[in-house]
Amino acid sequence: MVSTVGNYDYIIDWEFMPSRSIKLGVELTGILEVKGATNTHTDQIKEDVYGTLLADYTIGVYHDHFLAYYLDLDIDGEANSFIKNNLENVRVKHHGSPRKGYWTVVSETAKTEADARIKLGLKASELVVVNPSKKTKAGNKNIHIIFSFDLNVQLTHCILNSHFFITFP
């Protein structure tokens, strides 16, 4: 899908992967956002011009691109639940094990829209949609991964109270 917003064309692509995750991709083309200036060389700039001198009298303006996705998550029917799976460290309580701890998954099921507002942080987590009445052959919940992130993810532009929202019908 291609969307034109202002002076940019956004090429937005999504792919449903065999792992039941959704791979999102965005490419950007268009004309660079610029503003006029009185400078022809960086030595002439004495204050912050909020951009980079690209050519005579032309500043490439510092700016960001924010994208929001709307997903209709009626996968496997309408009786879906939104779950945040957190990877948690658990300490071994008995001293018979040489291990001091292990990882386990702690799931939080959203019951309201407020519960489904997610502020991404440093925890290893994944956001999934599941229809509890649908099971795999082995009896596990048939989950669809929306977003997966780990401790290496860096999030910038933390001006929002939440990075991820789910709305209920």
Distance, in Å, from the CA atom of 119 to the CA atom of 89, rounded to the nearest integer, reads 20
pLDDT (0 to 100) of residue 85: 86
Residue 157 to residue 169: CA distance in whole angstroms: 29
The residue extents of the domains of the chain are 1-31, 33-66, 70-169
Please, which pLDDT band fits residue 42 given cuts at 50, 70 and 90? very high
108 vs 116: CA distance, rounded Å: 9
Using a 10 angstrom Cβ sphere, with 0-12 exposed, 13-18 middle and 19 or more buried, the burial of residue 138 is exposed
Task: Tell me the pLDDT tens digit for each residue of 58-69.
Answer: 999 988 777 776
Return the pLDDT at 69: 67
Per-chain mean pLDDT for the chain: 78
